[in-house]
Amino acid sequence: MSNRSNFWVQLPAIGLPALLAASLAIFGLLLPGRFWSVGAFESMAFQMPELGLLTLAMFLPFVSAGFNLAIIVTANITGIFMAWLWVNMVPSDAGTGLQIFWVALGLLGAMLIACLIGVLIGSLVAYVGVHPILTTLGFMTLIKGVGIFITRGAPVSGMPPVVQFLGTGSFLGVPMPMVVFILTALAMLVLMNRTSFGKYVYMSGSNINATYFSGIGTHRVIIGIYVISSLICVLAGLVMNARFNSARMGYGDSYLLLTVLAIIMGGADPLGGFGKVGGLVLALFVLQIISTGLNLFGVSQHVSLAMWGAVLIFVLAAKFFNRRYYLPWAQRRAAGPDSCSV
């Protein structure tokens, strides 16, 4: 294992479980009867999947040393398409079977839109060589403008009962949004750990030039990364439609910072090439618990957002200290006293 990723392996394996336990204990003591309650944990289970799905959408580009600033707007624009189709095409007295048909048709259309977005972003990054941040920033602005123009900034409301059940219902006691997130996280786990594509993603993030010269089609890999990222955004848009019973541009804008924070806290290297789905999921639980505890304390969302920014800066500073000072010192110490005197 490389020295570069050593700190990031240890952080989720040691620090996150401890932080999770400490958060549960502290909020349980400070908020007796309110935090440790069925209602509080149900609320977490309904809220976290939106952020979780968007974080999974960001995860693939991040591991490949890329970035996707367009995840929120992709979820919103595909959500608007699905909502418009369902509101205008599904009769008010439609049976369950007919509703499922239109929901599936809406998902298929949204997936096609997402694939187009992913192919365009990936092609610009892979073939033209435009930096992922600049590419996705441009698409974020473009898609947001198109979405606001189409809807005039107004929400598209009135989801079919089948979709509403996805936002409020449960399966075997587990909220449906959490079911969607768990299944997606498991699929991502298999993709990254059990497929050649997942191995190519890690290789591209570590050294894309060496990956290319080893005979791997890195252009196709990069396009595939952004297509899969955009497809996961469709699921995020579906969950937001179901939870809010509406779709509009602007839903989930505050999640962009949190996706990056969760990925880095979960152990991913900001330079690419390393990151585990398990660490990411654990980081999401920690962030959701802290967020819920702060909400129960009545802390303003603006204060919480500023705090998340400060945490991100702290984690990045710790990463820099680890790479710049701690690892060289540890290497010299391991080499013995003779190397320290050189």
Would you say 289 and 44 are in contact if contact means Cβ atoms under 8 Å apart? yes
Distance between CA 139 and CA 71 in Å, rounded? 10
Q: Residue 142 domain-assigned? A: yes
Q: Residue 335 domain-assigned? A: no
Structural domain boundaries enclosing 209: 3-329
pLDDT one-digit tens code per residue, 70-104: 999 999 999 999 999 999 988 888 888 999 999 99
Residue 169: band (very low, low, confident or very high) from pLDDT cuts 50, 70, 90: confident
- Through-space distance between the first and last CA atoms of the chain, rounded to whole angstroms: 26
Q: Residue 337 domain-assigned? A: no
pLDDT one-digit tens code per residue, 221-260: 999 999 999 999 999 999 999 999 999 998 988 888 889 9
Average pLDDT, the chain: 86
Token pair, residue 73, equals 């707007």
DSSP H or E run through 216: none
CATH no. for residue 245?
1.10.3470
In the chain, the number of structural domains is 1
Q: Residue 339 domain-assigned? A: no
Has residue 52 got a pLDDT over 90? yes
Burial class of residue 86 (count of CB atoms within 10 Å of its CB; 0-12, 13-18, 19+): buried
pTM, to two decimals:
0.87
